[in-house]
Structure formats: structure tokens, C-alpha cells
Structure 1
Amino acid sequence: MFRKAVIIIGFAVSLPAGNAAAQKSVDCKSPETQTDMNHCAAQDWKAADGKLNEAYKKAMASMKKTDSYLPKDQKGAADTLRDAQRDWIPFRDKACASYGFLARGGTMEPMLVANCKTEVTQQRTKQLEELAQGLGN
């Protein structure tokens, strides 16, 4: 009995590693299975999130610069941006989780959530890029 449990546990532990290895070879230009589509959607979101982080850093630098020349009673650009971003993240996550309910419990749910996060993140990235540019550019 103990030997069977060890074999079952060993098999279960090896599954995620094998699955991850299989996903690394997915061609996201033409995914063939729902698992592939889920993987590609997650990769797209990861890339969009990376661009968002870059845009946020630039926007924050711009807001700090704005704060540097404002009178003391008008400062707050950087704090406001930070607070807005902290509020935006849970909004994005909840909005996209609700989108996932279109296929709740199905194999498409992760793809729908990831695609939503990608789209909403790209929209937010554009807003942050505009903040970083300012009005005079």
C-alpha cells in the first residue's frame, strides 16, 4: 500500500513539470488545443503586464517631476498616480474574473480571463504613456 502511494504521489508531482515543458514548445501563432490557447493568452497577458510596468515607471517619473515644481499645497501627482494604480489592479482582476464567468468552470475560462487582462492592461498602458508624455509633447 505504501509503495502505491509513493508511486501515485511521484506521478502527481511530475505532472506540472511535464505540462510546463510541453507548454514551452507551443506555437502561439497557431495554437492547436484549448490548453495551447490558454497558455498563449497567459503569455500575451504577461507581455502586456511587462509593458504596463514600464509605462507606470515613466508616468511616475513624470508625476514626480510635476510635483517638484508645484507649490507645496498643490503637490500630490505621484501619490495620486500610485493610489490610482493600486485601485486599478483589483478593478482589472475583478472585471476580468467576471468576464471568465462566460465559460465558468470550462476549459476556456482561463483564456477569457487572460485575454480580458491583456486588453484592459493595454488600455491602462496607453493611459500611463499619455501621462508620461504630458500635455506639451
Structure 2
Amino acid sequence: MKTISRCVALCIGLLSISIASAEDDCKEITTSMQVNQCAEIARKSADLKLNASYKKLMERFESQQRRDPQQGELFKTMARDSQRAWIKLRDTNCPLEATDIEPGVGVSVVVINTCIARMSLERSTYLDGIAPDEFGVSCPSTDFNAFLTAFAESAAVQRAFVQRPLQFVTTVDAEPEPRIEKRALEDKQIKYPLMPHRAYREAEGLTLSVKGQSRNRATAILNKPDTDYLVEYRFVLGKCWMLSEVSDFAI
């Protein structure tokens, strides 16, 4: 009985950490029935977080290795093999923590579920630290209007969500008439911010608006009414919106 009591006390302490964001009923655990229910909730919640972290890691491998898809697939295979081996380790490890409790007793299940929740959260944190986003910036939104607002306000977001090379189109003053010049800019050639923030636009009388949008393409324009100032930004949607081309039509 003392062993069971110690396990219950320990589980309550661990559960308070494992299910900090779980159901309201588990914020204060006072009965043995709550311990059983909340241990299961903690396990399921941690499992969902683990699955999300694993999925994001696979997406990072895919996006960061766009120029070398074969390498990306190799990394993803390594991650799959590692995850399968780790799950087997977790699922054989956790029953060891309940070996001093009579099998089939409710507390035994609680101990195992609590162990699984703890290990899953630790694994999730571990996966989140592998191949972090190059610029440490996550996708603001796949809704283009929300994305555009965040993109305009942050040079860091712009750096993270610009395709390389960036296509840059300018209008060059020439004879007998202006001509269009198109260049492919690499990282060192791109000057930020590519799009001015709201305070600057208001001070300069510039207007940013969405010109057109389809399922996976969108165009924003920056212009100054009653002048020839016009810049067009073209975006494509993959895992997130990415700026693919800038066209400066002002002479």
C-alpha cells in the first residue's frame, strides 16, 4: 500500500506538468478516479504533440532540401527509422516503472501512462530541436491577407519566405523606349526590407493591396496614387507563401 501511495503522489506531481494544457478537470487532481482519467488524457495529449513535432520535422527536411530532394528523402528515412525505434524503446521501458505494483491494478496503468506522457513530451522537445527553421521564423499564416500583413511588417519574415534565387524585374530607361530587365538575385544580392512596413507606407503615401489571388498564387501591389510608382510582388503557396518575383515598374 505504501508503494501504491507513493506512486499515486508521484503521478499527481508529474501529471500536473504533463497536462498543463489539457482539460480543465485535470487542473486540480484530488481523487483517484481523476488520477486515472487525467493520466490517460496526459498520454493522449503528449502523443498528439509528439506526432505534430514529428510531422514538422519531416516538413523541415523537405523544405530545407528542396535543391537536393534525394538528400531530403534520406533524412526523412533516418527520422522514420529513429522514431520507430524510439517508440519501441518507450513502450518497453515504461512498463518497467510499474514492476513494483501488482499487474492489472489501476495504479499500474496510471504509472505507465504517466511515463509514456513524460517520455513523449521529452521526445517532442528533442525533435523540435533537429534541423530548426533556417531563420527561426515559422509560417505566419497560409491565409494570404494575414501572411501579407506579417510579411510587410518584418524583415525577418521576408528573409525566411523568399525563394532563392528571387526573380527581380525592373524597368530601365532606354532609347527609343524603356525596356524590361529581369535578373535572378541570390541571397547576397537581395536588399531588405523588400516591402516597406505600414508606418513607412503611411508616411510616404504608399498603398499596399492584393491585386489577385488563386488557390496557390497571389499578387500584391505597392503603389502611390497619381504617380508612376508601382511595385508588384508575386507569391506562390507551398508549405507557406513564398515571394517568388518582384517587379519594379517605376522608371
- Given the two structures, how large is their TM-score scaled by the length of structure 2? 0.40
The more displaced of 105-114 and 73-82 is 73-82
2:37 & 2:121 partners in 1: Cα distance? 19
Written as runs of structure 1 = structure 2, the 5 A alignment for 1:1-137 is: 27-70=25-68, 72=70, 76-105=74-103, 106-134=105-133, 137=136
Matched with 1:11 is none
Q: State the identity %.
A: 28
The aligned counterpart of 2:225 is: none
Separation of aligned partners in 2, 1:68 and 1:104? 53
TM-score, with length taken from structure 1 = 0.69
Contact 2:53 2:127 in 1 (8 A): yes
Normalized per residue, the structure richer in helix is 1
| CA offsets 1:61-103 (integer angstroms, 9 cap, x no match) | 1122344334857961011001111111111111111112232
The structure with higher relative contact order (CA 8 Å, sep 6+) is 1
Q: Letter of the 1:123 partner, please give it.
A: E
Following the alignment from structure 1 to structure 2, what is the Cα–Cα distance between the partners of residues 134 and 104? Answer: 46
Distance verdict in 2 for CA 1:74–1:32, change over 3 Å: closer
Q: In the alignment, is the contact (CA less than 8 A) between 2:98 and 2:108 conserved in 1? A: yes
Q: Higher mean Cα deviation, 55-64 or 72-81? A: 72-81
Give the drift of 1:38.
Answer: 1.3
1:135 offset after TM fit, Å?
6.7
Cα 1:72/1:47, change in 2 over 3 Å: closer
Residue-pair matches, total? 113
State the distance in 1 between where 2:124 and 2:117 align: 10
Q: Is the 1:49–1:118 Cα contact (8 Å) retained in structure 2?
A: yes
Distance in 1 between residues matched to 2:108 and 2:79, nearest whole Å? 31
Over 3 Å counting, the alpha-carbon distance change for 1:121 and 1:74 in structure 2 is closer
Bigger strand share: 2
Question: Which structure's CA Rg is the greater one?
Answer: 2
Match of 1:6 in 2: none
Quote the RMSD (CA, aligned, Å): 2.6
